[in-house]
Structure 1
Amino acid sequence: MNKTVIVLGGQLAPEGFSVLVEAGVTVVSTEPYIDRQAVIDIMKTHKPDAVIIRLLADKLGPEEMKAGGQLRHIAKHGVGTNDINVAAATALGIPVSMTTGSNGHSVAEHALAMIMTLAKDLPRQDALIRDGIWDKNQYQGRELRGQTLGIVGFGFIGQTLAKMAGAIGMEIIAFDPHTPESAFAGSVRRETDLDKLLASSDIVSLHCPLTPETDKLIDARRIALMKSGALLINTARGEVVDEGALIRALEEGHLAGAGLDSFEQEPPGADNPLFQLPNTLVSPHVAGVTLDAKRAVSVMAARNVLDALDGKPLEARFLAR
């Protein structure tokens, strides 16, 4: 296969890279977070048959898609396609694929790790000991058993987290207007009113995609509905939460803490107030890129590209619309 694939915004795991190279594909990779003009320039230079999207500074739009003149497929290295203008790609006849299910378990584990770390007061205890303070009276850890976990977005990741949290005795309620009733099995209770879920939960974990409907879904009004002392976990997209409203709720003590793997602007500025607060736990949008997940995502993205360029139909679950 004499084809060229550009990986925009980082490199594939070696296993994914090998899948492409062994098929005779020329692979070109860029640095993370390159801007729109840099994308256009590299597309014109290499005229790729397909691109794999990792980390971009700007949304991939029609001008970038047309710049190389022969783009036939766009593959997302992950499942969130908010950095791709899918409507523009569809209008140009360029299918967009996702690596559905490849990193969901890692994301669910990351959310659970953030829940446990905050609930057990670990960051503060670690800081106290490092400052030479050994005082058990300052421990404010909670037992998660019996606590109510509200999951917003009940696809594969939300369902996986529900199983993990249920196993340690948490009560699970979930909101997702798009998930079939069959997904709400066992002890998970479906909540059809997001406001009621927020008001009923001790911990809220977000797992919904970024769409026009979910942009700033968790705003000042909805944060005010949450229980005093509740925790908010976001391993979805940063734009789902109104950061200004979240900062105020954390500063004022309405929320006890927040675990955040994504932010409104990425990479965020070093002066982001969320980084200065003692009741936040932050990570650089890495929930879905454990070493294991990165291998799985890279291989699946590479295989989606090869199948698409070979004219093989992709399963519907891999196609963005």
Structure 2
Amino acid sequence: MRETVVVLGGELAPEGRAILEDAGVAVIATKPYLDRQAVIAAMTQHRPAAVIVRLLAEILGPEEMQAGGRLRHVAKHGVGTNDIDLRAASQLGIPVSMTTGSNGHSVAEHALALIMALVKDFSRQDALIRDGVWDKSQYQGRELRGQRLGLVGYGFIGQTLAGMAAALGMRISAFDPHTPAEAFRNGVTRETDLDKLLSEADIVSLHCPLTPETRNLIDARRIRLMKSGAYLVNTARGEVVDEAALIESLTDGHLAGAGLDSFAVEPPDQDNPLFRLANTIVTPHVAGVTLDAKRAMSVMAAENVLATLCGEELAPRVLAR
């Protein structure tokens, strides 16, 4: 097969690249966070039959898709397709695939790690001891057992985290109008009122996709509905949260802390106030890219591309709508 695939925004794991190259496909990877003009230039130069989308600075739109004139498939290296214009792809007859389920465990584990680090006061204790302060009276850690975890979004990641949290003795409520009733089991309470969930949870963890309905879903009003001293964890998309309102609530002490893996603008400005607050733990949108997850995503993205180029039909669960 003499075709070209361009990976937009970073390299594939070796196992994923090998799947394509063993089939005779030329694989070209670009640097992360290309803007529209750089994407158009790459598409025009390489004329790929497919692209694998990793990290872009702007949405992959119709002009980019048509540049080069040979694009037959767009594969997302992950499950969040907010950086791809799905409507434009549909109008152009270009299917868009996702690596459904490939990194869910990694994201759930990352969310739990942020919860643990916040509630156990790890960052502050680490800073104190590095400054020569050995004072156990300053420890403010708490047990997770008995605390209520509120999940906003209850797909695979939310359900996986719920299982982990239940094993620690946490009480769990989840809000997701799209998840079927049978998913809410093993002691997980289905909450149909998001405001109620926020007002009752000790820890809120976000696991919803970014859509027009979820943009700024956790706004200033809803942050103020959260318990005084509650924690917010976001391993979903930064735009789901009103960042300015979050900063205000962390600064004035309404929220005890926040664990954030995603931001409204990525990469964020270095002077983002969230980075200067002592009650935040931040990571650079890596929850879903452990070595294990990256391998799985790369393999699945490559398999989706190869199947499409060979004329095979993809399973509905991996197709973005």
1:61-140 map, 5 Å: 61-140=61-140
Matches of 2:302 and 2:110, distance apart in 1: 25
Measure, in 2, the Cα distance between the counterparts of 1:255 and 1:309. Answer: 50
CA positional deviation for 1:160? 0.0
Q: Within 5 Å, give how 1:39-58 maps onto structure 2.
A: 39-58=39-58
3-state DSSP class of the match of 1:302? helix
Residue 250 of structure 2 corresponds to 250
**Matching of residues 139-158 of structure 1 within 5 Å:** 139-158=139-158
Give the match for residue 35 of structure 2. Answer: 35
Q: How does 1:122-201 map to 2 (within 5 A)?
A: 122-201=122-201
2:261 pairs with 1:261: yes
TM-score of the pair, normalised by structure 2 = 1.00
Work out the CA distance in 2 between the residues paired with 1:298 and 1:68: 24
Q: TM-score, normalised by structure 1?
A: 1.00
CA distance in 2: counterparts of 1:23 and 1:146, whole angstroms: 53
2: CA distance, partners of 1:182 / 1:264: 33
Aligned twin of 1:277: 277
Identify the residue that residue 60 of structure 1 maps to in structure 2: 60
TM-aligned CA deviation for residue 251 of structure 1? 0.1
* Equivalent residue number for residue 204 of structure 2: 204
Following superposition, the deviation at residue 186 of structure 1 comes to 1.3
Letter in 2 for 1:106: S
Aligned partners of 2:205, 2:164: CA distance in 1, in Å?
Answer: 13
Cα distance in 2 for partners of 1:184, 1:24 equals 45
Counterpart of 1:302? 302
**Aligned letter for 1:89?**
A
Unmatched tracts of structure 2, length 5 or more: none
In structure 1, the partner of 2:316 is 316
Shift of 1:245: 0.2
Shift of 1:311: 1.1
Distance in 2, matches of 1:64 and 1:39, equals 6
C-alpha deviation, 1:253, in angstroms: 0.1
> C-alpha distance in 2, partners of 1:52/1:295?
14
**What is the percent sequence identity of the aligned residues?**
74
Determine the C-alpha separation between the residues in 2 that align with 1:43 and 1:262. 28
CA distance in 2 between partners of 1:186 and 1:193 (Å): 20
1:145-178 deviations in Å (ceiling 9; x for gaps):
0000000000000000000000000000000000
d(CA) in 1 for partners of 2:183, 2:315: 21
RMSD: 0.3
**2:52 partner amino acid:** I
Q: What is the CA–CA distance in structure 1 between the aligned matches of 2:308 and 2:191, rounded to whole Å?
A: 39
| Deviation (angstroms), 1:190 | 0.1
What secondary structure is seen at the aligned counterpart in 2 of 1:165? helix
Aligned to 1:5, the other structure's residue is in SS state strand
Q: Which residue of 2 aligns with 1:9?
A: 9
**Once the two structures are superposed, what CA deviation does each residue of 1:92-140 show, in whole Å capped at 9, x if it has no partner?**
0000000000000000000000000000000000000000000000000
Correspondence list, 1:15-26, <5 A: 15-26=15-26
C-alpha distance in 2 between matches for 1:313 and 1:194: 38
Structure 2 SS opposite 1:18: helix
How far apart in 1 are the matches of 2:181 and 2:168?
24
Q: Encode CA deviations 1:226-246: one digit per residue, 9 max, x unaligned.
A: 000000000000000000000
Partner Cα separation in structure 1 for residue 266 and residue 171 of structure 2: 33
Which sections of structure 1, spanning at least 5 residues, go unmatched? none
Rounded Cα–Cα distance in structure 1 between residues aligned with 2:34 and 2:190: 41
State the secondary structure of the residue aligned to 1:285.
Answer: coil
Write the letter of the residue equivalent to 1:92. L
SS at the partner of 1:275?
helix
Give the letter for the 1:66 counterpart.
Q
Q: What is the DSSP-based 3-state SS (H/G/I as helix, E as strand, rest coil) of the residue aligned with 1:317?
A: helix
Give 1:218-257 correspondences, 5 Å limit.
218-257=218-257
